[in-house]
Amino acid sequence: MPRKSPLDKVLGKLDDLDEVNLSNLVQRLARERKLLETVFDVIRDGILVLDQSGIITYSNQQGRRLIGLKPELGEKVSLLKAAPDLAKSLGMDRLSEIARPEVVVREIRINYPEKRYLRVYAVPIEGTLTEKVSQKDAGITVVLTDVTEEKSNVEEQIENEKITSIMDLAAGVAHELGNPLNSINIHLQVLQRSLMHDGLDTKTKTKVEKSLDSCIKEVKRLDSIIVHFLKAIRPTIPDFKELNLLDIIEEILHLKEKELSSKKINIQLDAKSKEPLINGDLDQIKQVFFNVIGNAMDAISVNSDICIIISWENDYISVQIIDRGEGIKKENVSKVFEPYFTTKKKGNGIGMMIVHRIMRNHGGEVGIDSKYGSGTIVTLKFPRKEIRHQYLEQK
């Protein structure tokens, strides 16, 4: 038998209450509601509660202020109408199977009632007071944190982040370098002993060749680790030029053609006839798509699909990379951009950190919607070519 909530128990006894006790109960509930609203109104974060249709059923004072919702409008307003940028970031304009993720964590820019940067944390409401409902029919609780002031001090923020990243990365890289160096050392010792003897027979020659081959492979692995490490700790100012995102995506898909073929992965590319033009650094944007598409390929099994959708918004060109892999656990989504965090057995944990840094340096945004067991959507938002953005919002 399902456990009843306190309100269920009260509602079940309404028929037994006389007029006086019923009046007292209503007054007590009204006082408790007023107390809770007072508490929520002093919280510095904005709180919005949405039903399954995206209608705002509750908003605290800060939540209304951040999205410019006038007090007289109250609740029962569509989020898509009140704050379209926020609604789109939550997938309110999508009807895909994983449009309602377990958790959404991202930073977005809104332009109304004024330009602000918000950190968004959204989780579905498991059920109502009287019954459990499926996630498809559940509402959403959205917590909004104003990080505009934090963005205005971006230079200091980047320096602090760089120091922390270097410390974390240095520890990880030291560990990563140890194993291949050990292997190289052992194989080189074998080669040294073998070369001391004249006239190597076929068996010894084969052994020497295998050792050399192992050394070469380990050196390549070391080189890859170092390249990623240097890119992470030495970000460069983008060399802005006109770029066509579709051309870049097709080039990355061509580079990964053998991997895609071996895993029998089908790429569904949905691009409009309009050219997706942006201003950006060619090598850095290539790195973004190389990392994100690579992650999607690693997340799915053979004979699966990756869907890439390019769309146009007011100020941005949006690129969504959708996979139907195992997804990311709810407790790990917020860690994706942290240095050296990875869920892959052979991952180095700095790919998405690099993606986040590059997108921010281009005045863009990166967001992750994921549901464990269903898949992941990575959304990359690039300022449109005709929209001029200052580097890192600096003046």
**Mind listing the pLDDT tens digit for each residue in 206-256?**
777 777 777 777 777 776 666 666 665 566 788 899 999 999 999 999 988
Maximum mean pLDDT: which of 92-106, 242-256, 344-358: 242-256
Side-chain half-sphere exposure of 145, counting CA atoms within 13 A: 10
Residue 36 pLDDT = 74
**Helices (H), ranges, 143-269:** 148-152, 154-195, 202-233, 245-255, 257-262
Burial class (CB in 10 A: 0-12, 13-18, 19+), 315: middle
pLDDT range class, residue 204, cuts 50, 70, 90: confident
**Beta pairing class for 305-312 and 266-270:** parallel
Residue 93 pLDDT = 65
Share of the chain above pLDDT 70, in %: 69
CA angle 53, 58, 61 (to 5 degrees): 135
Check whether 75 has a pLDDT greater than 70.
no
Check whether 350 has a pLDDT greater than 90.
no
Residue 352 pLDDT = 85
Residue 228 pLDDT = 64
Residue 243 pLDDT = 94
C-alpha span between 37 and 33 (Å, rounded): 6
Check whether 338 has a pLDDT greater than 70.
yes
Whether residue 120 contacts residue 109, with contact meaning beta carbons closer than 8 Å, is answered with: no
One CATH from 2.40.30.10, 1.20.1250.20, 3.30.450.20, 3.40.30.10 for 43-148: 3.30.450.20
Q: What number of helices (H) and strands (E) belong to the chain?
A: 12, 13
Does the pTM surpass 0.85? The reply is no
**Matching residue, tokens 């800060």:** 62
Check whether 76 has a pLDDT greater than 60.
yes
Tokens coding 272:
């409009």
Residue 178 pLDDT = 64
Kindly report the backbone phi and psi dihedral angles of residue 266, in degrees, each rounded to the nearest multiple of 5, phi listed first: -100, 125
Check whether 128 has a pLDDT greater than 60.
no
The pLDDT mean for the chain works out to: 77
Pick the more confident residue, 97 or 110: 110
pLDDT range class, residue 379, cuts 50, 70, 90: very high
Residue 98 pLDDT = 42
- pLDDT 10s digits, 3-21: 555 555 555 555 666 666 7
pLDDT range class, residue 74, cuts 50, 70, 90: low
Q: Where are the domains of the chain?
A: 43-148, 157-233, 238-393
Residue 392 pLDDT = 40
- pLDDT 10s digits, 277-302: 999 999 889 989 999 999 999 889 88
SS (H, E, C) 161-185: HHHHHHHHHHHHHHHHHHHHHHHHH
Check whether 388 has a pLDDT greater than 70.
no
Contacts of 102 (CB under 8 A, 6+ apart): 123, 124, 135, 330, 333, 370, 371, 372
**Beta pairing class for 316-323 and 305-312:** antiparallel
Check whether 324 has a pLDDT greater than 50.
yes
In CATH, the architecture of 238-393 is: 2-Layer Sandwich (3.30)
Please tell me whether the peptide bond between 101 and the residue prior to it is cis, using omega within 30 degrees of 0. no
CA angle 248, 284, 301 (to 5 degrees): 60
b/e sequence 233-266, b meaning 16+ C-beta within 10 Å: bebeebeeeebebbebbeebbeebeeebeeeebe
b/e sequence 83-112, b meaning 16+ C-beta within 10 Å: bbbbbbbbbbeeeeebebbbbbbbbbbbee
Residue 115 pLDDT = 83
Q: Would you call 8 helix, strand, or coil by DSSP?
A: helix
